[in-house]
Each structure stands twice: as C-alpha cells, then as structure tokens.
Amino acid sequence: MSKARIESVRLRNFLSFYEGIVGFDPGLTVIIGPNGSGKTSIFQAMKFALGSNQREARYPKWSDFIRYGASTAEVEITVTNDGSSHKFLRKIDRDGIPRAFVDGKRVKAAELRGLVASIGLDIDNTLVFMPQERINALRDMNPVEVRRLVEEGTGLSEIRDRISVQETEVALSQRKLEQALDESRVVEREIDLLKHDLDRLKKKRRLQEQEEQLEIEVKWATLVDVSNRISQTRKEIEQKEEGLVSILDEQRAREKEREKNQQAAATLEARLGQIQREIGSIEARIEEEKRRAQKLEEDSRKTLSESDQLKRDLKNEKRLHQKAKVDLEKAMAAKEKLLQRQKEIEAEIAEHEAEQDGIEQELTAFEEWNAKRTESYVVYKSLQSDIEKKDVLLRSLKERVLNEEAELQSIDSKWTHVWEALEETNEKELTIKKGKLEREISSLNEERFREATLVSRLQREADDIKVKLTETSERIPSSVRKLKVSVSEHGLKSVVGPVIELLTVSEELSHAVEAVLSPTMAYAFIVQDENDLVLIQKLRDREDAPSPVIMLHGEEKEAEKSELPKGGGVEGWFWDAVDIESETRTMLRRAFGDFVLTKTGKSAMRMATRFGLSAVSLDGVVVVPGEGKTIGYPRRSATGLVSTAPLQSQLDELERELILARKRTTDVIMKLEKATDEREEVLDLLAQATRWTSTWDRRKKLLESIPSLQERIASRGDELKQLEAEIGKAERELRELDNTQPPERSRLVGQRSAIRLKIRRLQKKIGEVQSGLRSTEQNEGMSRSDLKKHGESIKILSSRLEELREEMKVSKSQAADIVESIDLLSDGLVETEATQVKVREEFERCNEVIRSLSERIVELGLVIKDSKFQVLQARKHLRNLEGEEEKLTQELANLTRPKDVRPLETARSELIRIRHLLDEYQDVSESVAHTEFQLKKRLDEVEQHVADLKEELGEAEAAVRHIREQYHNGMNATLSKVEKNVNDILASASFAGSVRFGLVLRDGIYGVEFKSKIKGDEYGNISQGSGGERSLIAISLILALQRFNPAPSYALDEVDIFLDATNTESVSKLLYDASRRSQFILFTPAKSTHLLKHADRRIGVVSPRGIDPSVIVESPRISDN
C-alpha cells in the first residue's frame, strides 16, 4: 500500500472561508463544528483540490464555490508520499473554469487526476471520501446496491464487467443469427417469386422464334412487291416524256408574239415622255407667276399690318406721355410732405433721451442699497445652514436612540420566545426534521418538474394541433384554386381536379385517404388529352401551384379484380369504399393504382408480401410491393387535409389531460410551499441556537450606548439654542434694510426699457421717412425721363406711317399684270393634256396584251419544270427500287423461300402482332435465370453462416455460464470474508449482534442480502435495529471493505450523526484502530465528546454569528489516548 498522507489544506475565498489552513495528523484527525460552520466546505475543498469533478446538488456551477463578494477562490493541499512532498493547487474564477497546478506548474485536469491516482487516492470513491447522508443511504440499500458496494470495495467489479461484456457478445450473436435466418427466408421467398418470371421467359423465347420466321417471310414479300413497283414506274416515265414535247412548241410561239408587242409599246412610251415634258414646262411657268402674285399679296398684307401697328403704337405713346406728366406732379407733392414729417420725429427723440438720463441716476442709488442687503442676507443664510445641520444631527441621534431602544426591546421579546421553543425540543430532533423536510422538498421539486414538463409538452402539442386546424380551415391553397379557375376559363374539358375536391370521405377513411394521397398528390389534376397536357403545365407554372399533373393515355379497360381473401383484417378494395361516382372511381384507380383496404398495418403488410397487392390500412399505413422488394411506408398522422375530426378528437383529449396536469402541478406547488415554510422555521431555530451568545453581547452594548447618546443629544440642544439667538439678530437687521429700500429696480429698469423702445421706434420711423424720400426722388427722375422719351417716339412713328402708304399704291399695279399672264398659260396646258390622254390609252392596250402573253409563258414554264421534275423523281424512285431489289436479292440468296409467301401487308401485320406480344415480356430478361442461380448459391452460403453462428452462440453462452460460476464462487468466498470482518469489528466494539450476507439471483440480476441479528435469535432485516445500531453496522461494513483494498487516506463527513453516546465511543475506537493502518479525517458536529477521546488531532470550525466567515480553531494535542 502507498504511504501517502495528506498533511494540510489551505483555503482562500472558498465557500464560507476567507482564508484558513487545516493541518492533519497521520492517524485520526477529528474536525469539529456545529451545522453551518464550514466543516463540509473543508471536505469539498479537499476533493476539489485533488481533481474531483463531483459537486453536491446545491453547487450546480464551479463558480458557486467562490465566497460571496470575491472574484476568485483557490485550495492548496499538501500530500507526502514515501518521504517526498507535493502541493496540489486548484483555482476557480468567475468564468467557471478550474485551473490546476502541481508544485507550482500548470497541469491539465486529467494529468492532475492521474498524479493523484498514482499515489493511491481514489477521490471519487465514496468509501474513501464519504460525503454527508452517504451513511444514511448505506443503512437503507437494497440487495443490488449492497452487491455493487461489495464489488467496488473488493475488486470483484472487474468480473461483473466481464460478464456484461460476454452477455453483450451473446446478445450480438443472437441478433446476427436472427438476421441470418431472416436473410435465408428472404432468399427462399425471392426464389419462389422468380418461378413466375422463369415461366414468362420460356414464353418469350417461343415468341422470339416466331418473330425470326416472320421477318424472313416479310423480306420475300417485300422483294415481290418491289419488282411489281419497278415495272409500273417505267411505264409512268414514258407517258410523262411524250406530254413534255407539245408543251415546249406552244411556249416558243407565245414568246415571238410577245416580242412584237413590246416594240410597239416602246414607241408609244417615248411619245408619252415628250408630251409629259411639255406639260411640265407650262406648269412650271404658271407656278412661277403664281409665286410672284402670292409674294406681292404677302408684301401688301405685311405693309397694311405694319401700318395698323404703327397707328396703335402712336396712340399708346401719346397716352403714356400724358401719364408721365401726371406722375411727375404727384412725386413733387409727396417729397414736401416727407421732409415735414422728418423734422417732427427728430424733436420727439430729443425729449425721450432727456427722460432716460434721469432714470439712470435712480438705478445707481439702488445698486448701493442692494450691496448692503446682500451682505446681511449671506450672514443670515450661513446661520440658518448651521442650525439645519445641528438639527439634522440632533434628529439622527434621537433616531439612533429610538432604534437601539427598539432593538433592545426586540432582543428581549425575541429571545424569550426562542428560549421557550428550544426548551421544548433539542438540536438532534431539529436536524432529523430538517433532513426529512429537505428530502420531501427534493421529492416535491422533482414531481413539480415532471408535472411542469408534462404541462409544457401537452400545451405544445395542443398548440400544434390548433395551428393545423387553422391551416386546414382552407384545405386548398389559393394558387391551386387559381389554377382551377384558369382551367375552366380555357375550356380544358379533359382536365379534372384538384383530386381532393373529388372526394367526400368519412372520418373512418380519412387516415387511409391521406396516406394514399401524399401532400402534393391531393392537389393533382388528371388529364386525358395530350393537347391539354402542355397547356395545363404552362398554367400551373404561371400560377406557381404545387399541383402534379397526371396524364392518362388512351382508354384503358378496367381489369377484373382478383378475389380478396376473407377475414384477416381485409375490408375490401380501397376505392370501392370511397363514396364517389363510378367514372371518378375508375379514373382515380388508373391514376393512383388500386389498394386493398385493411384494418391494421400488419394486415396490409401481409397482403403485400403474400399476394403482391398494394394495401393501405385504416390507420394510414401504406405497403407497396415491387420487383424483388416490398416497401412499407410509416403511418401518417392526421393533418386535417381530408377531415378535421381526428385532429379535433386529439385536441379534446389533450385539453382534458392538460387540465388534470395543471391541477396536479398546483397541488404539488402548494405542498412544496408548505414544506418550505416548515423548513425555514426549523433552520431559523437551528441558527438561533448557535447565535444566542453573540445576541447577549449585543444587548450589553446597547445598554451602555443608549445613556451616552442621550448626553450628546442634550449638548447639541444647547448649541442649537445659541445659534437661534444669533439668527434672530441677523433677521432684524435684514428687515430694517428692507424697510429703507429705494424704488424698485425692476420698475426703473422697466421705465428705461420702455423709453429705449420708444426711441428705437422713432428712429425706425425716421429711417422709413428717409427711405420714402429717396424713393420719391427716384420716381421724380424716372417721370422726367419717360416724358422726354415718349415725345421722341411720337415723331418717329408719324414719319414711318407716311412711307408705308406710298408703298401700298405701287404693289396694286404689279398684281394686275401677273393675273393676265397666268390666264394665257392655262389655255395651252389644257390642249397638251388632251393629247397625252389619247397616247396613254393606246400604250395601256399594248401592255395588257404583253402581260397576258407573259403570264401564259410563265405557266408553260412551270408546267415544263414540273414535268421535268416528275420525270427525274420517277427515275430516282426507279433507281431506289432497283437498288432495293438488288439488296433484297443478295440478302435472300442464302435463304430458302417459304412455300406460301403471303402479301406484304398481311405478313407485316402478323409480325407487328408478335412484337406487341413480346412487348409484354420486356420486363423479363435472361438475367432472371442468372439471378436464380445466384440466389441458390446465396442460400447455401447463408445456411452455412447460420450453422457457424449457432456454434458461435453456443460457445458464448458457455463462456457466460463459466464466468457466472467463477463470479458466484468468488463472491461467496468474498462475502464470507466480509461477513467475518464485519462481525470481528462489531465484536471489538462490544456490540451484541452479528450480520450475515447471502448472494441471491433475482430476475437474472445478482444481489446481496444483508441481514443482522441484533435483538432475538433469528437474522432479520437490518431496518429492525435502531438508527444508531444500523449506523454502527454500516460503519463496520465500510471498515471491513476498506481492509480488502485499503487507501492511504480516508475522509468521512458526519458518519456519526445517528449514533448515541455508547455507539459513538465504539466507533471512535474502531476508527482509531483503523487509523493505525491508514490516515483518517473525520468531520463531525460534535454533539458529544466521546468521538474526540481517541483522536490524534482535534480541529474546531466555527462561524461566529452563523453568517460570518468560518474560522479554524485548533485544540491542543492529547498525548495519551
């Protein structure tokens, strides 16, 4: 065994400690302290520093180990091993990440645990580091828990692990065997399924032979047909060549006649061109004369218009000349008025400035008085502030006296009640009651969490179903409805849909219909015309509708249905059960296939596997058989697409469950609040039991403090009276100054402001008058300038008007000469146009003859071209037929001609019929035979694999039996040793009783029955003893197990909590004896001194007022135990 020893542990800001160091003896160290003093903090610190990751439920986070108000915590533990010393340090910050150090060097958590384990300290073993309540749990363990404890303490857990591993291998072998057997059955079934395909393969081979014979016959019939068509084509070519010669002669005669008419037309066309040039010359001269006349007319109009405008301008200028005279007279009168107004305003300004000087002198006198009053006011306010401070201090002292008197009275009244309550009970009973209430609260919290989780889950499910019901209130999406309207508008009569509108389904069939119609197929449209297919696809894409389009080809006759087996959960054919018209039923059967309707999914799977029929169950399971496989789709839950009744039923059931769950949650919360209140009362009593000493000291301090405070109150009262006399004098001086106050400064300032405002207004008026003067002078200058300008304009306009009147007389004589010349030219133009009409009529007659001849020539050219093309086509066709005949002759050279060669069409029809029959066998290939061979080979391999697995399973089961036998024998031997050790330990503690262990096997699980003989002659359940006796037996069991695999150090937290004085002393002796072999550290609330008698070292832990930081107090050593 390793000789490792824990020397000391140092805590800083850990749980209830500011800072402290605890030293341990190599033997038995007892750490003493009342509840809540910090003992468990030391226990937790030791485990934390040695690398344990276990925490109590009250410390859910690492940062909970940090003392309240601190930012970091650390624990350092010193361990000696074989003469060498090691320091293990572990820190935790508010970030919640522990950091480990070994001898000052940073290490990982795994490295720390490895170093600790290497010196023999198993920190997570509850037999080595035993936490609170563990001893209580040991007293009430069931046989399985006792067996696990014995295995953990004696090392037999390795054999249990081997049994678990071997049992896992057995289960794995059994699964492999079952899988192999399933595979062999599948292969056998596939071989049976292939028999039908092999029969079809034989029929396909016979049809292929008939096809080959018919192909040869068709070739011979084709040769005969080609020879006949060659003879017929040669005759057609000769007839077409004879007709082509007569057409060529007619074409040449027509071309000669057209040339003669074209020459005559050219002569007439030249004559027409000459006449047209003469007409153009005359028209040009006429147009020129008209332009001259038009120009003269326009010039006359412009001259007349200009004359009228000049008259208007002349009249306007005279009017403006008169207006300028009037404006000049007005401007001179306004200027005189403004000059008079300016003189009046300047006189008023001088009067107001004199009044303003008088007010300024009065303001200077007021400022001097105000300075004196301010000085007196400052003195007054200073005294007033001092009085207020003294008054606040006096009130504070009085309030403090009242508070301390109230606290003293509260202590007297409160502790009287506490002392009475503590007399009725004791600390042990309160601790037991506290533990019972905490277990009850923990159980109620777990129950509340379960019920709250159930309520949350039920609420979510109910909300989901409500959402589904809301969504299904409008079953068909708007895009699908728009698509239906578009189909109707375009008149697509062969289109039907959406499918969901064609169905009216009962609640019983809703699951089955939703399973057959996948979510998108419910919105599908069925089409029976290929022309409508393209259009509806375009309409669907335009509306972006989630609707598949199903095209039904041709008119398929409904096949006869096979007779379904009776019973076995079969309801009939699915589409027959749906209430729809027969035409709709036939269409849906063609679109989606037919299904057998069954009661359960198991029946549907049987119909698919045994009879090869697609099936659907009433609860929504679809099974579809395929080639070499069967697909079973999962059950579809109701979505409300077809019927909302299933969803509504689910919702009603969930709401009922939700009401009951909420009621249970409320009951649990009420129980929890009641238990919490009771626990708080118990905790308060326990806390007061440890705090009454400090409360008594506080009472003494209060009795001394209250008289001192009363003296300070009297002194401060005298000072306050003196200050009140001084402030009265200052107040009188201030009142005398107020009585001699000059006129109010605000009134003087107001008068000065009013005068300044009047002066500014008058100055503003002067500015306005001066601005008016400047404006008037400008208007006067402008009026004089306008008067001169208008006089000059009148003279210029009168001169121009006389010149225009002379120009109008000359234009009238030139216009009369131009009109006479235009009349002479118009007469010559009429005669030339008459000659032109006669020549054009003759020219058109020639062109008509030429046009009719050209059309006939073109027609003859087309006929000749078509005849030549037909001859060429016939010759080409002849060459193709001759080539085909030669090719067929070569192909048939080595083939025997049948006796009876039927006509080509008859042979071809027969060949097509055979090929149609072969199309039905396209799914059958030669690979079927190869597949049969492979499956038989695979079946042999699987059967051999099954035999091997059975042999392997037998070996694994034998190994399990052998290990169980080994474990059974080892456990019986170990239990005998444990039983002897426990009884020896109990005897050494002078305990009149013994224990007995027995290995039992219940429901395939091993357990250890733990019986004791305490009172009476028979062994019975350990629960028959008292709490102390059961605790003593449990401690003896722990010490006995420690002998099998001893650790260098043990730490036990409150293992003596249920022991009386006699049993405590016995346990003290036992622990002392055990501490001679290993180091023992015992944490105890020290309700008696019996446990301390045999301790090598005693350490006290206290919290002065129950809420203060923990303090470590070491007791002097006792050399002789």
Position with higher pLDDT, 78 vs 921: 78
User: What DSSP string describes 915-979?
Assistant: HHHHHTTTT--THHHHHHHHHHHHHHHHHHHHHHHHHHHHHHHHHHHHHHHHHHHHHHHHHHHHH
What b/e readout covers 683-711, taking b as 16+ CB neighbours within 10 angstroms?
bebbebbbbeeeeeeeeeebeeeeeeeee
Is residue 845's pLDDT more than 60? Answer: yes
What b/e readout covers 195-209, taking b as 16+ CB neighbours within 10 angstroms?
eebeeebeebeeeee
At 101 the pLDDT is: 92
> What digits encode the pLDDT tens for the residues 15-38?
888 888 888 888 888 888 887 778
Closest residue by Cα to residue 132 from 235, 248, 35, 30? 35
Domain CATH code at residue 517: 3.30.70.1620
> Is 1047 within a domain?
no
Q: Are 250 and 860 in contact (CB under 8 A)?
A: yes
At 1119 the pLDDT is: 42
> What digits encode the pLDDT tens for the residues 124-175?
777 788 777 666 666 566 777 777 777 766 666 666 666 777 777 777 777 8
Can you tell me the distance from the alpha carbon of 62 to that of 73, in angstroms, rounded to the nearest whole number? Answer: 10
> Is 252 within a domain?
no
Tokens (6 digits) for 768: 């306005």
Alpha helix segments (H runs only) across 98-156: 109-118, 134-139, 143-154
Tokens (6 digits) for 751: 């008068």
> Is 1032 within a domain?
no
* Average pLDDT of the residues in 669-678: 82
**Amino acid identity for residue 115 in this structure:** L
Mean pLDDT over the full length of the chain: 76
Containing structural domain, residue 520 = 473-643
> What digits encode the pLDDT tens for the residues 815-840?
667 777 777 777 777 777 777 778 77
The most confident of the ranges 46-50, 128-132, 1027-1031 is 46-50
At 674 the pLDDT is: 84
Closest residue by Cα to residue 145 from 1033, 1050, 1006, 1036? 1006
Can you tell me the distance from the alpha carbon of 261 to that of 718, in angstroms, rounded to the nearest whole number? Answer: 157
Can you tell me the distance from the alpha carbon of 203 to that of 115, in angstroms, rounded to the nearest whole number? Answer: 81
Contacts 24+ apart (CB under 8 A), 308-317: 310/797, 310/800, 310/801, 310/804, 311/801, 313/793, 313/797, 314/794, 314/797, 314/798, 314/801, 317/790, 317/793, 317/794, 317/797
Residues near 852 by beta carbon (within 8 Å), at least 6 away in sequence = none
> What digits encode the pLDDT tens for the residues 294-314?
787 777 777 777 777 777 777
> Is 480 within a domain?
yes
Can you tell me the distance from the alpha carbon of 220 to that of 676, in angstroms, rounded to the nearest whole number? Answer: 109
At 76 the pLDDT is: 93
> Is 565 within a domain?
yes
N residues, the chain: 1121
Is residue 1118's pLDDT more than 50? Answer: no
> What digits encode the pLDDT tens for the residues 1032-1085?
777 777 777 777 777 888 888 877 777 766 677 777 777 788 888 888 888 887
Is residue 241's pLDDT more than 50? Answer: yes
At 458 the pLDDT is: 83
At 498 the pLDDT is: 82
Q: With 0-12 CB in 10 A as exposed, 13-18 as middle and 19+ as buried, what is 150?
A: buried
Radius of gyration of the CA atoms of the chain, in A: 63
How many CA atoms within 13 Å lie on the side-chain side of 383? 18
> What digits encode the pLDDT tens for the residues 882-894?
888 788 788 777 7
Determine what percent of the chain is predicted with pLDDT higher than 90.
Answer: 1
Number of domains in the chain: 1
Name the pLDDT band for 471 (thresholds 50, 70, 90).
Answer: very low
> What digits encode the pLDDT tens for the residues 572-617?
887 777 777 778 878 887 887 888 888 888 888 888 887 788 888 8
> What digits encode the pLDDT tens for the residues 333-347?
777 777 777 777 777
> What digits encode the pLDDT tens for the residues 616-649?
888 778 888 877 788 888 877 666 666 566 666 7
Tokens (6 digits) for 242: 């004879």
The most confident of the ranges 462-466, 657-661, 853-857 is 657-661
Is residue 696's pLDDT more than 60? Answer: no
At 140 the pLDDT is: 64
What string of H, E and C letters represents the secondary structure of 408-454? HHHHHHHHHHHHHHHHHCCHHHHHHHHHHHHHHHHHHHHHHHHHHHH
> What digits encode the pLDDT tens for the residues 994-1014?
777 777 777 767 777 777 776
Position with higher pLDDT, 163 vs 113: 113
Name the pLDDT band for 451 (thresholds 50, 70, 90).
Answer: confident
* Average pLDDT of the residues in 410-425: 59
> Is 1085 within a domain?
no
> What digits encode the pLDDT tens for the residues 370-404?
777 777 777 777 777 778 777 778 777 777 777 77
How many CA atoms within 13 Å lie on the side-chain side of 767? 6
* Average pLDDT of the residues in 488-494: 77
> Is 580 within a domain?
yes
How many CA atoms within 13 Å lie on the side-chain side of 396? 7
End-to-end CA distance of the chain: 26
Is residue 47's pLDDT more than 90? Answer: no
Position with higher pLDDT, 23 vs 262: 23
> Is 502 within a domain?
yes
